[in-house]
């Protein structure tokens, strides 16, 4: 069972071994744990006994601390993987093979295993061995170029697009798909999830627009990149912002009606790009006359697709998000996103806090590998486990 209150969720009964890593791999592990999978994270012995620095993304796990570079440590983890349904690793291509934990070895011992590999560039290709981060992967996939104001420099979208949308979420989908195949056919496989591939996939609609001439290959001049005056962000009198998404004619009409601009001639041709700069300037001047919250109150219930741009802290306190339970209070005394999506028949339990690193080493290794507690204590004294 997942370490969650009630142990529910659609993935209850699925065991996943997560081999350390940062960012997208742990995010994938969090998503699977939120949905009910039992996720066992393998951490480094040097950090055993410490609180994790990532209390949200490491929630819902158990943790064992094992030195993968030590032959006995790698052997113990091989036995752990032999009893698992899936494994997640996020090291450079070839690293797991050098440790004796590559997919060939693991699948030979567990033929129905799903072996998930998370990298930036993929398992092959000219850049496979090059280092990189989210910003590099989304740059090469074309996404970063498209996220910029007119005439301005590209703006990194935190690390949402590469690490999490094109990385960890893609790997989670790949693992669940391969698990379904394994349970249906009885055959395991390797899932090669690369952040460049995933970012490109997220651009599917944009590439579709580009191919039919509905998108200019430069930022800040298109329908969905801030170029359209009715799909943009505007600064208010208090230097906070509102987001306008009035794409469809009825929402555009509602926007103009609330702002008193329905009769102004420059707004008569919504999709005429020649008029967009003038329209945008006029809207900017209007929104600058009131505060963000005044505009939010004015547009409430008007069906104009205008919302306040909230900070992280404000979003957690918004009445809609409170009513939905979109955020929850974590054990670290702050807000954190609640598990999503929601399931009618198999609701997920409340995830438990991220464990102290190595907190479950003895318990899990004794159960999964056949090592006695005395054996594990000997390995601990030699630094193999923590």
Active site residues: 133, 163
The radius of gyration computed from the CA coordinates of the chain, to the nearest angstrom, equals 25
Nearest alpha-carbon partner for 32 in 21, 16, 20: 16
Helix or strand run (H / E) with residue 234: strand 231-235
CA distance 163 to 167: 5
Nearest alpha-carbon partner for 67 in 103, 2, 33, 20: 20
CA distance 365 to 376: 8
- Return the SS3 of 293: helix
Locate 271 and state its tokens. Answer: 């999709």
- Return the SS3 of 189: strand
Nearest alpha-carbon partner for 195 in 120, 132, 126, 144: 120
CA distance 80 to 367: 9
**Cβ-based neighbours of 59, under 8 Å, separated by 6 or more:** 30, 33, 34, 330, 336, 351, 352, 353, 354
Nearest alpha-carbon partner for 29 in 65, 3, 60: 60
**Cβ-based neighbours of 378, under 8 Å, separated by 6 or more:** none
**Rounded to whole angstroms, what are the CA distances from 332 to 35, 51, 54, 100, 317?**
21, 11, 10, 37, 17
CA distance 135 to 145: 11
At residue 202, what are phi and psi to the nearest 5 degrees? -65, -20
Q: Is the peptide bond before 341 cis (omega within 30 degrees of 0)?
A: yes
Contact 380, 46 (CB under 8 A): no
Taking the CB of residue 80, how many other CB atoms lie within 10 A of it? Answer: 21
């Amino acid at each position: 069972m997942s370490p969650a209150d009630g142990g529910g969720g659609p993935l209850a009964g699925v065991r996943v071994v997560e081999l350390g890593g940062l960012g997208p791999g742990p995010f994938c592990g969090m998503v699977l744990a939120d949905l009910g999978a039992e996720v066992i994270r393998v951490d480094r012995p040097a950090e055993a006994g410490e609180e994790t620095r990532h209390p949200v993304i490491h929630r819902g796990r158990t943790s064992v601390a094992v030195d993968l570079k030590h032959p006995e440590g790698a052997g113990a983890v091989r036995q752990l993987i032999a009893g698992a349904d899936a494994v997640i690793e996020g090291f450079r291509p070839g690293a797991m093979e050098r440790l004796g934990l590559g997919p060939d070895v693991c699948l030979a011992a567990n033929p129905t295993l799903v072996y998930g590999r998370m990298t930036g560039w993929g398992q092959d290709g000219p850049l496979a061995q090059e280092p990189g981060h989210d910003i590099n992967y989304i740059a090469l996939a074309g996404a970063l170029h498209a996220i910029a104001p007119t005439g301005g420099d590209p703006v990194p979208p935190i690390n949402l697009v590469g690490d999490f949308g094109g990385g960890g979420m893609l790997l989670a989908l790949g693992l669940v798909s391969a698990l379904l195949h394994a349970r249906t056919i009885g055959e395991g496989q390797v899932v090669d999830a690369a952040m460049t591939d995933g970012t490109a996939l997220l651009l599917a609609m944009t590439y579709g627009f580009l191919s039919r001439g509905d998108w200019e290959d430069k930022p800040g001049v298109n329908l969905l990149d801030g170029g359209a005056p009715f799909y943009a962000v505007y600064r208010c009198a208090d230097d906070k912002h509102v987001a306008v998404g009035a794409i469809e004619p009825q929402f555009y009409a509602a926007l103009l009606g609330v702002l008193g601009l329905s009769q102004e001639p420059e707004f008569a041709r919504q999709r005429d790009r020649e008029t967009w700069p003038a329209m945008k300037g006029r809207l900017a001047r209007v929104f600058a006359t009131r505060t963000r919250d005044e505009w939010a109150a004015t547009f409430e219930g008007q069906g104009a697709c205008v919302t306040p741009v909230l900070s992280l802290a404000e979003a957690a306190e918004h009445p809609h998000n409170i009513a939905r339970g979109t955020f929850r209070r974590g054990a670290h005394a702050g807000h954190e996103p609640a598990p999503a999506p929601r399931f009618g028949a198999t609701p997920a339990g409340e995830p438990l806090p991220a464990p102290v690193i190595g907190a479950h080493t003895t318990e899990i290794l004794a159960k999964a590998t056949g090592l006695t507690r005395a054996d594990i204590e000997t390995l601990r004294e030699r630094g193999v486990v923590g």
